[in-house]
Amino acid sequence: MRIFLTGASGFVGSAIVPELVRAGHRVLGLARSDASAEKLAAAGVDVHRGSLTDLDSLRRGAAACDGVIHCAFSHDDFNDYAGNCEKDRGAIEALGSALAGTDRPLVITSGTARFTPGRVVTEDEPLDASTGGGPRAASEQLALSFARRGVRVSSLRLPVVVHGDGDHGFVPMLIEIARKTGRSGYIGDGDNRWPAVHRLDAARLFVLALEKAQAGARLHAVGEEGVPTRDIAGVIGRKLGLPVESVPKEHFGWLGAFFALDTPASSALTQARFGWKPEQAGLLADLDHGTYFARA
């Protein structure tokens, strides 16, 4: 199949590309800049210029392909999460509309974090904005509604931490905060848990969802159900030679709201239904032996 991939040059998307190629698919990658286009071309990807806000370009890309994986998400302004989610909904509407009535696959990206804290979330639980699901819940609900419009749509939920070489998300931010403040902190007793997955494991699941998921399916790309944040801080402190201690949430700025989350999630149903097994290093091992502490 020819697959339209948004976010193709990003952290997760660039890992999906070789998985698609190994599975025998051709890739049409969305690129919003010359740098992204050059990166995709070098990887043997056909380039489709556009962006998440250029809805006509999204519709053209989807209509020209046999399936779509939508893993792009705007991170231009971390302080405007609601606005970023609104862009995501617009993109999903454009992609889904282009595929309506075709029974072609559309895999969209969601998350596991927006549920009731302190309990293990499963795939069968719907993400509901009215019960704390936040603005991204509306994106998942919109996407899955296309199952009634002849699209084989599925939602692949990523955990709070997707880790691996090239990570530029929450964990590198925690490392930089530790460097700047001279201590590696956790909040409260540090027993709150972050689920995690390696980007290469997540990439394999995106392809399985594309090929096998039924319309309306929800999948969890969760390699580890919940890593205590105190343990994350412990590895960071040891690698940097800094004290590890409990600190106020404000120590982390806006990131404190996320580092305080206790959002364990299970992938047991996904593993049983799709034969997916996490194979890569876990988060703490990746911190210990990966490239997180290398500086150019």
For the record, the structure tokens of 195 come out as: 């689920």
Q: Please say whether the dihedral angle defined by the alpha carbons of residues 53, 63, 7 and 96, taken in this order, is positive or negative.
A: positive
Instruction: Using alpha carbons only, give the angle 284, 80, 264 rounded to the nearest 5 degrees.
Output: 30
Helix (H) or strand (E) holding 6: strand 2-6
How many Cβ atoms from other residues are within 10 Å of residue 249's Cβ?
Answer: 14
Look at the block and give the residue holding tokens 């801080």. Answer: 233
The pTM is what?
0.92
Kindly tell me the number of DSSP H helices and DSSP E strands found in the chain.
11, 12
For residue 102, the one-letter residue type is T
DSSP class of residue 217? E
Task: Name beta bridge partners: 157.
Answer: 110, 220
How many Cβ atoms from other residues are within 10 Å of residue 210's Cβ?
Answer: 27
Q: Show the low-confidence residues of the chain (pLDDT under 70).
A: 75-79, 81, 114-116, 128-134, 296
Residues in the chain: 296
What does the pLDDT read at residue 72? 87
What does the pLDDT read at residue 118? 74
Domain residues of the chain, as ranges? Answer: 2-161+196-223, 167-195+225-264+281-289
What does the pLDDT read at residue 115? 65
Phi and psi based region of residue 54 (left: phi greater than 0; alpha: psi -120 to 50; beta: remaining): beta
DSSP class of residue 27? E
What does the pLDDT read at residue 79? 65
What does the pLDDT read at residue 134? 64
**Distances, alpha carbon 71 to alpha carbons 94, 147, 191, 215, 236, in Å:** 14, 19, 30, 18, 29
In angstroms, the CA 106 to CA 210 distance is 7
DSSP 7-22: TTTSTTHHHHHHHHHH
For the record, the structure tokens of 139 come out as: 């994106």
Radius of gyration of the chain (CA): 19
In angstroms, the CA 169 to CA 129 distance is 24
Fold of domain 2-161+196-223: Rossmann fold (3.40.50)
**Distances, alpha carbon 109 to alpha carbons 70, 141, 203, 253, in Å:** 6, 12, 12, 26
